[in-house]
Structure 1
Amino acid sequence: MDPAPLEAKLQNLGLEESLSFLDGEYGSQAVFSTSFGLEDQAITHAILSQNLKIRIVTLDTGRLFRETYELHQITNDKYKTRIETYFPDAEKLEKFVNANGPDSFYASVENRKECCHIRKVVPLERALNGAKIWITGIRREQSGFRTEMSKFEIDSAKQIIKYHPILDWTWEDTKKYVKDKNIPYNPLHDKGYPSIGCAPCTRAIEPGEDFRAGRWWWENESAKECGLHWVDGKLTPKKG
């Protein structure tokens, strides 16, 4: 599982070309996970407009914004597709909520991380079952943690290669691509929400605030992540 040959072949390719190449190499064993943010809509368009076999999956935590659900439907309708949706394990979620309460993530970082683990991390593991490469919409400027990432990573715990095709895009690059291609996007982006997760855990940001300041804003930790993009169970990025 060495990403170096892939990295060499894709280094001069644009978004559409790189995804088309991966489609030829992996087909449905390549998986793109979307949360319907602006970055993810750009990649979704690049996949579906080319009729690629790359699977597109999403995680329904049960606590998403109404606008996110609406965009999911709009995207399905526009591209005549059905994005695969994965849900949390009902028994595990019931046990957690009954023991801690519906909004216990506000009470402690530990509770919040456990909530993320049940609602997102475990369903993602099912979504990636059998996949050889996992494509994400991560951009380098989204947070300080992500500035150290490389486009290719190896997650040996999941036995998968991760690929971030728009890692070097800016927010303005992303907005321009979406506008130029007439891609549907979440209207919350126009209301000060650059990063959109679960509704109780996301707020709009003020001018000058960090891109991800609206995520888990009540926490004091400098690197606020849900665990989806930890490599080998660690917060520190592991370059491939």
Structure 2
Amino acid sequence: MQAEEIKQLNEQLANSAPQEILTYFIERYGEKIGLASSLGAEDQVLTEMVVNINPATKIFTLDTGRLFPETYDLIDRTSRKYKKNLEIYFPKKKKVQKMVNAKGINLFFESVENRKECCFVRKIEPLQRAFKGLDVWICGLRAEQSVTRTDISKVEWDANNNLLKINPLADWSEEQVWDYINEKGIPYNTLHDKDYPSIGCQPCTRAIMEGEDVRAGRWWWENPNTKECGLHKR
């Protein structure tokens, strides 16, 4: 898709509600669109919206092998509520084994390069497999989440994966997300109630303190400008 087409779509959908954006793309792309869920609050909101628009739409998540027990519980509760099994993609066993044996079980604490290698093996490569057959992926990014996301648009071209990427909640506030969750009775990760606003792998996630950025608990030992795993490289 050309840059001019992306620009036109953003202008066309600038004032559209998330449900309207999702309906627009789901109706046009059918089996070629999927929601990549991190099981965060935003993606739980999108799951509820997507299921109500078309329950056959692909919804998938990544099991890195290092998730919190609360996250696994959420997968089960979400599947039960919406009567839909989330598709789960795992890292390749041999790649994990080779990496860990060469660099240690907690290699990610040693350097940004090690951490990005771990993210690639456990997240990026499985995501690339999940994308096969898709033309569009739905994502729960919001502009106010971190300094690396302030300029996101509702419609973007993901050159790394050669896919159209849509961010229906790009201009939503955290308050809007939680108001919607409470209104609809959407299941969410109970760690959110314990000061974990952003949740990833267990070793790389901590609770935040009052006044900290919502993503301060992710890879907290790193500079804020490096705090992306590569899923949303732009």
> TM-score band, normalised by the shorter chain?
over 0.9
In the other structure, the counterpart of 1:74 is: 77
TM-score normalised by structure 1 residue count: 0.92
**Distance in structure 2 (CA, Å) of the matches to 1:207 and 1:221:** 17
Do structure 1's residue 197 and structure 2's residue 200 form an aligned pair?
yes
Contact 2:142 2:152 survives alignment (8 Å) = no
By how many angstroms is 1:138 displaced?
0.4
Structure 1 runs, 4 residues or longer, greater than 2 Å off: 2-13, 49-54, 220-223
**Distance in structure 1 (CA, Å) of the matches to 2:157 and 2:143:** 17
By how many angstroms is 1:23 displaced?
1.2
Larger deviation: 32-41 or 154-163? 154-163
- Pairs within 5 Å for 1:220-231: 220-231=223-234
**Distance in structure 1 (CA, Å) of the matches to 2:230 and 2:86:** 22
**Distance in structure 2 (CA, Å) of the matches to 1:221 and 1:20:** 34
Contact 2:95 2:121 survives alignment (8 Å) = yes
By how many angstroms is 1:51 displaced?
2.9
Aligned AA (2:14)? Q
**Distance in structure 2 (CA, Å) of the matches to 1:193 and 1:57:** 22
Structure 2: stretches of 5+ with no match in the other structure: none
In the other structure, the counterpart of 1:237 is: none
Q: CA RMSD in A?
A: 1.3
Alpha-carbon spacing, 1:73–1:40, altered in 2? closer, same or farther (3 Å): same
In the other structure, the counterpart of 1:88 is: 91
Structure 1: stretches of 5+ with no match in the other structure: 232-240
Residue by residue over 1:31-72, the C-alpha shift from the partner in whole angstroms, topping out at 9 and shown as x without a partner, is: 111111100100000011233443111000000000000000
**Distance in structure 1 (CA, Å) of the matches to 2:30 and 2:12:** 17
**Distance in structure 1 (CA, Å) of the matches to 2:21 and 2:153:** 16
**Distance in structure 2 (CA, Å) of the matches to 1:5 and 1:107:** 44
In the other structure, the counterpart of 2:150 is: 147
**Distance in structure 1 (CA, Å) of the matches to 2:48 and 2:98:** 38
Aligned AA (2:49)? A
Q: Percent identity?
A: 51
TM-score normalised by structure 2 residue count: 0.95
Contact 1:154 1:160 survives alignment (8 Å) = yes
- Pairs within 5 Å for 1:71-220: 71-220=74-223
**Distance in structure 2 (CA, Å) of the matches to 1:119 and 1:157:** 17
Query: How many residue pairs were aligned?
Result: 231
Alpha-carbon spacing, 1:77–1:48, altered in 2? closer, same or farther (3 Å): same
By how many angstroms is 1:206 displaced?
0.3
By how many angstroms is 1:5 displaced?
4.3
**Distance in structure 2 (CA, Å) of the matches to 1:48 and 1:88:** 26
**Distance in structure 1 (CA, Å) of the matches to 2:162 and 2:195:** 37
In the other structure, the counterpart of 1:48 is: 51
**Distance in structure 2 (CA, Å) of the matches to 1:53 and 1:74:** 18
In the other structure, the counterpart of 2:40 is: 37
